[in-house]
Amino acid sequence: MTALSHAITQDSLTSGRLPKFATPVTAVAAAVVGFALAVLLAGGNLGTAVLIAYVIFLLSMEIAARVVEGPRQAADRRARHLIVGAFLLALLPLGSVVLEVLSKGMGRFDLGFFSQSMRNVVGEGGGAVHAIYGTLYVTGLATLISVPIGLLTAIYLAEYGVRNRLSKAITFFVDVMTGVPSIVAGLFAYALMSLIFGAGSKSGFSGSIALSVLMIPVVVRSSEELLRLVPNELREAAYALGVPKWLTIVKVVLPTAVSGLVSGVILAIARVIGETAPLLIAAGYTTSLNNNPFAGPMMTLPVFVFDCYAHPGTDVQAYLDRAWTGALTLIVIVMLLNLIGRLIARRFAPKTR
Amino acid sequence: MTAKLTSTPTGAAAAPPRPGPDPKRPGEALFRGLATGAGILILVILALVAGFLLIQGSPALFADPAKLASQGYGEFVSWVLPYVWGTVWAALLALLLAVPIAIGIALFISHYAPRRLAQPLGYLIDLLAAVPSVVFGLWGSLVLAPAMLPLFTTLNTHLGFIPLFAGQVSGTGRTILTAAIVLATMVLPIITSLCREVFLQAPRLHEEAALALGATRWEMVKMAVLPFARPGIIAAVMLGLGRALGETMAVTMLLSGSRNLTFELLTSQNPNTIAAVIAQNFPEAFGLKTNQLIAAGLVLFLITLAVNSVARWIVSRRAQYSGAN
Amino acid sequence: MSIKPIAVAALVTAAALAFTGCATNEAGSAGTGTTSGAQTLTGVGASSQKAAQEKWVADFQSKNSSITVNYSPDGSGAGRSAFIAGAAAFAGSDRPLKDEEMGAGKFAGCAADSNALNLPVYISPIAVIYNLEGVTDLALDPATVAGIFAGKITKWNDPAIVATNPGAKLPDTAITAVHRSDDSGTTNNFTDTLNKLAPDVWTEKASDTFPAAFGGEAANGTSGVVQAVTGGTGTIGYADASAAGKLGKASIVVNGKPLQPTAEAAAAILDHSKTVAGRDANDLAYSLDRTSEGVYPAVLVSYAIVCQTYKDPAVGALVKNYVGYLASADGQKAAADAAGSAPLSADLQAKVKTALDSVK
């Protein structure tokens, strides 16, 4: 007993560990050395400086941890630094893109942009209301088509047809569908509508079909994975109480997975809402507002942005301003959808943790 | 009372429940039918897309080379080969860059970040998914390409003996390496989002057990989270690969594509991707040229099929964990 | 699925769709095919004409608020295909229909015995744009231009360039020549110019696709080329002169005279060119003569392709009305202001008007 209490002394609990200030101090030191080296070797390039500093930091922490703490702890620290580094690295392009869009897009982010179309507007002025409504109609219809089909298929794959031949075929071909180039989806939708309704039918609905071809695989794959992750115990408990299989799925499995499912749906919407090529071919081009998704070409935001950028008139700046504001609007729409999605998920998920 | 007690056991022994759909529960059959029907509908849609590609592309696939040379873009296989290489090479580079970083970010949000920050941080990365591909094309050519140019020049000057960095450096920076970086940025939120959801679902009991036994956080992740999440990670990577193979707009605007089949990363002569070739040439194409472009789309379809088969084969060699079983 | 989310989703969708959009600048106008009495005219075609078409559509719709004109800049090939299939009432094309594409009864939107007419409506000079530090005026002869884009002249201080620019400080930088990655009428006219004026250097014939053998940097669309030239160092490219922005435009030296890509110099080309032989008197398909004295050679002429007789006389009337405006003096001036094109000469405007008068 006394031997044990002697062993668990203050020293043995804190010895063999790096002090708490080790990480920040090493980081600062590495930054200084890195910047100095960058100035000497690469003319003060910021990117090079950060890279050298990070490498020095990793190396010195690795050596210090190995010497003081041991290989397992060193591996743990290394993993932590790499993971945090990965996150910070991802913030770079994110920050750059968002800053670019914000700084260039705020110029026309005014009431006129959201209440006017481009009918009879040349050069300055005008707005994107026709494109915004077009995007909402087209994406909304696409979601209405894709989510039921995708979710039901995921339910089949995860619950009913596990490991049978049809499931294997569906999973395989859904993966193949993710590789369909977006422009081919547009061509397909245009050809389908031309077959049924005659040559040259461009409509919002045609665009929805093209987007559905792109959305369904994402919904299926992400939903299937999340449904598989619902613990079996929950299902077994429901079956034991005499609940039929379909009711178990609807009332137990789906609510448990709802936050992930909603995330998957939002991901799919974000994936297709910015697609230009298929909508240009299937939904067409117009400068006027069209409230009927089943007749006549319909303008959408990504096509609007591309068109303003690719075909400016002589007053180039006005078109570019509208293009950037259109891009900003798209991002805002998706972020709003994201928020709504998370609220829905929180509302319908079972209260577990 | 006694009659009821004695009759129930005999009743149960006399009439065992028959297998098959229960007529008193039509909801079950209906729901199952709906789910199966949805699955079959997807196969039908895919068959329609494949059929469309075949029908529209076959005139170019079966035309004789002389006709293709005068009315189309030239003999099919030699025309499409550099683009096949470009598509695969760009997607491979993009995934090499994106997958480790995406898994790192997902782990960070699910296991390493402070709990209060986790959701807002996840939201922040989802912001990348909201950016339309046109904007990535613009950002890539306006911001990234000029920024990467000094790095390219340095790599070419000092490491030019490596075949990857050889050749005459592009004067604008719009190379396949830049395109791969932009593709990686586009694919990152998809992989991260799905991986994050999957990591969050890792069984708490296993995690707590590992930590209780004295595992470090990283060991806990290695033992309890990653094996559990493997199918989900593969699914996420497949989704990302699909996006990288099929991305049209950003590559069209950003890449200086040509018909060169090359490994070089820093020059103006980059192998173009199939999606970009279709997008660039479709507006002006007519007749046999249109057929040839759609045949190229069919080739891309087949590439995706091949890559998915290989991935499936690799995954199927180890058993999958599924909560539903 | 549990009932509540579906109900919520259905309610939200219904609410959203019930609240249909309205645009404040469209009060009292037709929109796209919704109100009765509204007419829609569909045109598909070249993106080179897009900026001009935008102005024309805007002016036309302002004067005729019950008509909606949709010009879709899908490309010349797409335009011709749409016109042949009857999906578009008129096409915008960077080249006239070839002899084998013409013929009575080949066009679904035209009457069975009707041929098509090619009417020039848009002329634009193609400028050689460049971005080189410290050099503001550049003069190049056609052989040098051909050499640069063929990849034979690789440095800015090459003797051929120095010869035509004795006063300029040309650095020892590598030349990055930017061409169009997409098929385009601009490339067709540019390669035609180089082939006609410097055939020993530019051995390839005119084509929509820039010859792959000549290398160089590729960019998508006019704005892609302009952006690539602007963002790079020591870059040179070719694009519609009106899109060049602040970039320098090189003069092309023909027979000792440096020619700038101005609207006047470009419009002159049609006065020196002849129409294609063997066609209807009203078919104004030109075969451009780029070697005339004093005429800027690299010019793009874009056409509106219409039917001689339309199946639907209402459509025919709309087309006459609209294309008539395009080719009028007002229309051409409006396009020149908004899109930087070269207006048709009065002579040519009259010829187009005569041709349109014959359209039914």
pLDDT band at C36 (very low <50, low <70, confident <90, very high): very low
Point out the residue among B142, B276, B284 whose CB comes nearest to the CB of C227.
Answer: B142
Q: Above 90 in pLDDT, residue A116?
A: no
Of A119, A129, A280, the CB nearest to C21: A129
The reported pLDDT for the residue numbered A189 is: 93
pTM: 0.85
What are the respective helix, strand and coil percentages of chain A, to the nearest 5? 75, 0, 25
Query: Which secondary-structure segment (H or E) carries C91?
Result: strand C90-93
Say if residue C17's pLDDT is above 60. no
Look at residue B1 and tell me whether its pLDDT is greater than 70: no
pLDDT at B7 over 60: no
**Would you state the pLDDT for residue B17?**
66
Contact A142, B24 (CB under 8 A): no
pLDDT for residue A145 is more than 90: yes
More confident site: A4 or A154: A154
Looking at residue B55, its pLDDT comes to 92
A289: nearest CB among C23, C74, C223: C23
pLDDT in tens, A301-337: 999 999 998 888 777 888 888 999 999 999 999 889 8
Output the CA–CA distances (angstroms, integers) from residue C360 to C82, C331, C357, in the order listed: 20, 21, 8
Q: What's the mean per-residue pLDDT of chain B?
A: 85
Question: Among C248, C244, C210, which residue's Cα sits nearest to residue C226?
Answer: C244
- Comparing A162 with B269, which gets the higher pLDDT? B269
Measured between CB atoms, which of C23, C50, C87 is closest to A311?
C50
A to C CB pairs, distance under 8 Å: 149
In this prediction, residue B274 carries a pLDDT of 93
Asked if residue B176 lies in contact with residue B255, where contact means CB atoms within 8 angstroms, the answer is: yes
Inform me whether the pLDDT recorded for B28 exceeds 90: no
Question: Per-residue pLDDT averaged across A66-94, rounded?
Answer: 89
Q: By C-alpha distance, which of C221, B139, B134 is closest to A275?
A: B134
Average pLDDT of the segment spanning B60-74: 86
| Residue C267 near residue C123, CB atoms below 8 Å | yes
**C→B interface, C-beta within 8 Å:** 47, 74-78, 80-81, 174-176, 178, 181-185, 208-209, 212, 215-220, 224, 227-228, 231-235
3-state secondary structure chain B: CHHHHHHHHHHHHHCCCCCCCCCCCHHHHHHHHHHHHHHHHHHHHHHHHHHHHHHHHHHHHCCCHHHHHHHCCCCHHHHHHHHHHHHHHHHHHHHHHHHHHHHHHHHHHHHHCCHHHHHHHHHHHHHHHHCCHHHHHHHHHHHHHHHHHHHHHHHHHHCCCCHHHCCCECCCCCCHHHHHHHHHHHHHHHHHHHHHHHHHCCCHHHHHHHHHCCCCHHHHHHHHHHHHHHHHHHHHHHHHHHHHHHCCHHHHHHCCEECCCCCCCCECCEECCHHHHHHHHCCCCCCHHHHHHHHHHHHHHHHHHHHHHHHHHHHHCCCCCCCCC
Q: Looking at residue C37, what is its pLDDT?
A: 60
Looking only at Cα atoms, what is the longest distance across chain C?
82
φ, ψ at C5 (rounded to 5°)? -60, -35
Angstroms from A179 CA to nearest CA on chain C: 23
Q: Do A288 and C68 touch (CB under 8 A)?
A: yes
Inform me whether the pLDDT recorded for C4 exceeds 70: no
**A 272-291 near B (Cβ less than 8 A):** 273-277, 281
Question: What is the distance in angstroms between the CA of the first residue and the CA of the last residue of chain C?
Answer: 59
Tokens found for residue B225: 């989270």
For the stretch C91-128, pLDDT in tens is 999 989 988 888 888 888 888 888 999 999 999 999 99
Under the banding of pLDDT at 50, 70 and 90, the label for residue B217 is very high
Give the confidence band of C13 by pLDDT, cuts at 50, 70, 90: low
Neighbours of C66 (CB within 10 A): 13
pLDDT tens, C284-337? Answer: 998 888 888 888 899 999 999 999 999 889 999 999 999 999 999 999 999 988
Confidence at residue C33, expressed as pLDDT on a 0 to 100 scale: 41
pLDDT at B323: 47
pLDDT digits (tens, 9 = 90+) for A176-213: 888 788 888 998 999 899 888 877 778 899 999 999 99
What pLDDT is recorded for position A171?
A: 86
Domains of chain A: 2-108 (no CATH), 121-347 (1.10.3720.10)
For range A157-162, the mean pLDDT: 86
B100-134: pLDDT as tens digits = 999 999 999 999 988 888 888 888 888 788 888 88
Whether B151 has a pLDDT exceeding 70, the answer reads: yes
pLDDT over 70 at A4, yes or no: no
Inter-chain contact B38–A149, Cβ cutoff 8 Å? Answer: yes
pLDDT reading at C245 higher than 70: yes
Mutate to test the interface with A, among B25, B30, B31, B199 (most CBs of A within 10 A): B31
Half-sphere exposure of A50 (CA within 13 A, CB side): 6
Cβ contact B141–C218 (<8 Å) = no
Average pLDDT over residues A4-14: 53
What is the rounded distance in angstroms from the CA atom of residue A185 to the CA atom of residue A198?
19
| Domain regions of chain B by residue span | 44-322
The mean-pLDDT minimum among A146-150, C1-5, C22-26, C184-188 falls in: C1-5
For residue A9, the distance in angstroms to the closest alpha carbon of chain C comes to 58
Q: Which of A127, A202, A310 sits opposite C221 (nearest CB)?
A: A310
CATH 1.10.3720.10 fits B44-322, yes or no: yes
Option in C81, C181, C232 nearest B171 (CB)? C232
Each residue of C167-195: pLDDT tens digit?
888 898 889 999 999 888 899 999 999 99
Mean pLDDT across C209-217: 88
* B-chain residue closest to C215, CA distance: B269
Check if B25 contacts A (Cβ < 8 Å).
yes
Residue B13 has what pLDDT?
A: 53
Cβ separation of B268 and C218 shorter than 8 Å? yes
pLDDT, chain A, mean:
86
Lowest mean pLDDT among A41-45, B191-195, B268-272, C60-64: A41-45
Q: Which residue has the tokens 């613009």?
A: B138
Is the pLDDT at B221 greater than 90? The verdict is yes
Residue A237 has pLDDT above 90, yes or no: yes
More confident residue, B93 or A194: B93
Contact C242 A295 (CB under 8 A): no
Instruction: Name the B residues in 144-183 with CB < 8 Å from any C CB.
Output: 145-146, 168, 170-174
* Average pLDDT, integer, range C76-105: 89
C195-210: average pLDDT: 90
CA–CA separation, B48 and A187 (whole Å): 12
Asked if A175's CB is within 8 angstroms of B308's CB, the reply is yes
